Chain A
Amino acid sequence: MTLAFDAILIATVLAVAGWTIAARETFAAVIGFVAYGLLLALVWVRLAAPDVALTEAAIGGGVTGVLLLGGAARLRGVVAAPDAWPAATLRLAAAALSATVAAALAAVVLLLPDPAPTLAPEALASLPATGLGNPVNGVLMAYRALDTLHEKVVLVLALIGVWSLAADRAWGGIPGQRRPTRRDDALVFLARLLPPVGIVIGVYLLWAGADEPGGAFQGGALLAAMWLLAMMAGLVTLPAVSSRWLRLALVAGPALFLAIGLAGFVIADAFLAYPEAWAKPLIIVIEIALVLSIAATLGLLVAGPPEQAPPR
């Protein structure tokens, strides 16, 4: 019975994925991509990875989908010239190459040992030292804390890259175009209804992340989605990127993470080490600061570079 279910799920995922590649209109392809991201959440649940399912649904489907959608709306009417498509022979070669890569990966999947070598017992054994109950979060915040810190820095660097694309007159200004505010009552209603629920659920995911699936990324991505919804409805306006509190919110999470990591030299034995008795409260403090920074960074990455001159 599980086999039949998985087969239906995989067939659907592959069909939608094929559609996003084959669709003629970009807008339609992006819709397919969002549907694909939401379906992948089901796949991750079947792979016993609810933390990843939450991340994939929130970031892979939701936020990336809106990012691509914004791009598609801005590029509407810009269609590649028919001669921009590669010649049939090249397409055939590309298809052959892709099929070869896929076949090689498939062979690897079939040949790899099952059960695979695992670090699960080690992760579980060191979990009590963090005071957390969710092994994935334990790995993210303790064992691989350095990678998680890097990732936060990557997010901020990407945002700096996006901002640096601003035109001169909009330098330090407000992200996105000024849209004529057509008030759409249904959208405004939704933007008043959903965010309070979304904020509660986002905070719940952050809180539950200590012991159950969830955490700063998932909570932050949900908060970002709610912020974007309120932006679309015109209920909130973005601050200028030169605003001091905005920049503070962006770096608060990574900065606190780094500070506590550096303090690890003194209060524990190494960089990013936590003293055992303090591990859980420290991790939760870091995560609370991170969730705000992640939500702000994700929302601003979708909003794009400043395009309106700063208020002065």
Chain B
Amino acid sequence: MSALFGLAGAALVGLGLYGLIVHPEPLRKILAFNLLGSGVFLLFGVIARRGAAAGMGADPIPQALVITGIVVAFAGSALAVALLLRLHQISGRADLGADSAPPAGNGPT
């Protein structure tokens, strides 16, 4: 039964990875990265569920790992968004385009 959720987790990792590689907008990359992360957490959750024992519905150790992971993923995302907004503020750009592109000195529109 838990295998179904495991397969969903694997699919989410694939979806997130695709978005992370292909999307040109950094904000969408951050979003895709969070999607990828939640897929990984789901795999942990399936392993925890399969470790149900001693009257518990699931192994608490992977659950604790996932809770820590969710918080740290949020901290990383917050830093990434702040960096992106600062980049936009300074250069008027919000992409990670080629380095050869001249920095827009005239500021944003």
Query: Which residues of A lie under 8 Å from residue B89 when comparing CB positions?
Result: 167
Q: Which residues of A contact B67 (CB under 8 A)?
A: 51-52, 55, 136, 140, 217
Return chain A residues, CB-CB under 8 Å to B24: 80-81, 84-86
A2-B32 Cα distance, complex, nearest whole Å: 30
Partner of B34, one of A33, A108, A114, A158: A33
Contacts of B65 in A (CB 8 A): 144
- Decide yes or no: A10 and B1 within 8 Å by CB, A40-B38, A98-B21, A155-B71 being known contacts: no
Residues A3 and B53 in contact, CB atoms below 8 Å apart: no
Complex interface: stretch among A66-74, A178-186, A266-274, A280-288 = A66-74
- Tally of A-B residue pairs with Cβ under 8 A? 282
Known: A59-B74, A98-B17. Is A165-B3 also a contact (CB below 8 A)?
Answer: no
Contact at B17–A101, with CB atoms within 8 Å?
yes
The 8 A CB mask of B65-77 against A (1 = contact, 0 = none) is 1111011111111
The contact string, 1 if C-beta is below 8 Å from chain B, for chain A 145-156, is 001100100110
CA A30 – CA B54 in complex, angstroms? Answer: 40
Interface residues of A in 34-50 (CB under 8 A from B): 36-37, 40, 43-44, 46-49
Q: Interface code A79-100, partner B: CB below 8 Å = 1, 0 otherwise?
A: 1110011100011001101110
Neighbour of B85 across the interface among A29, A75, A117, A159, CB < 8 A: A75
Residue A305 interfacial (CB < 8 Å): yes
A305 touches B13 (CB 8 A): no
Question: Smallest CB–CB gap between A234 and chain B, Å?
Answer: 21
Q: Which residue of A lies closest to B8 (CB)?
A: A10
CA separation between A140 and B21, bound complex, in Å?
A: 34
Cβ–Cβ < 8 Å partners of A102 in chain B: 10-11, 13-15, 17
- Size class of the B contact interface (CB-based, 8 Å): 35 or more
**Which A residues touch B49, using CB under 8 A?**
47-49
Is the beta-carbon distance between B60 and A123 smaller than 8 angstroms?
A: yes
Q: Which of B2, B21, B32, B52 contacts A120 (CB 8 A)?
A: B52
B16 to chain A, nearest CB (A): 8
- List the A side residues contacting B84 at CB < 8 Å: 71, 75
Bound Cα distance from A29 to B25, whole angstroms: 12
Minimal beta-carbon separation of B67 from chain A (angstroms)? 5
Please report which residues of chain B, range 23-71, place their CB below 8 angstroms from some CB of chain A when the two chains form the complex: 23-25, 27-28, 30-32, 34-35, 38, 41-43, 45-61, 63-68, 70-71
Judge whether A106 and B52 touch: CB under 8 Å: no
On whether A10 and B75 interact (CB within 8 A), knowing A29-B31, A51-B63, A101-B17, the answer reads no
Q: In the complex where A85-B24, A155-B75 touch, is A139 in contact with B10 (Cβ < 8 A)?
A: no
A14, A86, A101, A106: most-surrounded residue (chain B CB, <10 A): A106
| 10 closest A-B pairs by CB | A102-B14, A48-B57, A118-B51, A109-B6, A105-B10, A84-B24, A158-B75, A301-B78, A116-B50, A80-B24
Residues of B within 8 A of A (CB): 1-19, 21-25, 27-28, 30-32, 34-35, 38, 41-43, 45-61, 63-68, 70-79, 81-86, 88-89, 94-95, 97
Contacts A/B (CB < 8 Å), 19 sampled: A17-B35, A21-B28, A49-B49, A60-B34, A75-B94, A80-B25, A84-B97, A85-B22, A86-B24, A94-B22, A98-B15, A103-B10, A106-B10, A109-B7, A110-B3, A114-B3, A124-B55, A140-B68, A162-B78
